[in-house]
Amino acid sequence: MSILINKDTKVIVQGITGRDGAFHTSKMKAYGTNIVGGISPGKAGQQVEGIPVFNTVEDAVKATGANASVIFVPAPFAGDAIMEASYAGIELVVCITEHVPVQDMIRVMPVLEKHGTKLIGANCPGLITPGECLIGILPSMIFKPGNVGLISRSGTLTYEVVNMLTESGLGQTTCVGIGGDSVSGLYFIDLLEMYENDPKTDAVVVIGEIGGDAEEQAAKFIKEKMTKPVVAFIAGQSAPPGKRMGHAGAIISSGAGTAEEKVKAFNAAGVPVAKEPSEIPGLIKEKLGK
């Protein structure tokens, strides 16, 4: 099994006629993702990679039965694009767009909650169930099917760690890049619960970073609710206080959100924390008794 997406997921691309939308549509389709339509207002009737283009998400859902959407529209319009998908009944929205205004995301969240829409992102690389479905910009060649789940706030660290897992013989069930914005969709606890309930996921890798307390909350959830082994890595261990490092959410303020606090929380929950990403495959194998 997997979480969130599989070979039966029907995907539409919002912003399919733009440069990034068209480019990544071709990559997702080549991987085998079931892309059933695209959205570009005023361009209904056109095709991209043989995929029909619709004016609205509502039109696409009615015509194709789509249940997932990936967003490549510019930042000023991304919030409205997310809400349009939610109102149209899309179950999972993956927003790749970065620099989406915080105010827009605050406006979006109640709409998602009202309609029961799950969101990954914004400012994320997407997710993949290897061998079945890729939604986003992840480099598909490094993934392989297996029994390890992965959640990451960092896109590039996702690629680095997955490549190490694959080279060490550890395939993946589903890998999710949740992004590093201060207001985001599904986060560690949401996904950890899904992995805990997925019979094919035997272990989970959590890649966190400085800023906020999401990792501390995740550690508490793991200690109280999870039976499956978890291994972690925290990026930004040498970041100075008050300095934002890469992501909008990666800032230490008033002594909170430090790498030291996060490592301490995970260790207290029985989660080993790698000092370097290269240690993660070995820690997973230890947990799985390989």
- For residue 247, indicate whether it is catalytic: yes
Catalytically annotated residue among 24, 99, 115, 247: 247
Using pLDDT thresholds of 50, 70 and 90, give the confidence band for residue 256: low
Write the CB contacts of 10 (distance below 8 Å, at least 6 apart in sequence).
Answer: 34, 36, 64, 65, 66, 67, 68
Burial of 115 (0-12, 13-18, 19+ CB in 10 A): middle
Segment 38-59, tens digit of pLDDT: 999 999 999 999 999 999 999 9
- Average pLDDT score over the chain: 93
Q: For 59-99, what is each residue's pLDDT tens digit?
A: 999 999 999 999 999 999 999 999 999 999 999 999 999 99
pLDDT higher than threshold 70 for residue 243: no
Domains and CATH numbers, the chain: 11-121 (3.40.50.720), 139-288 (3.40.50.261)
Instruction: Report the length, in residues, of the chain.
Output: 290
DSSP per residue, 69-132 = EEE-S-HHHHHHHHHHHHHTT-SEEEE------HHHHHHHHHHHHHHT-EEEESS--EEEETTT
pTM above 0.85, yes or no: yes
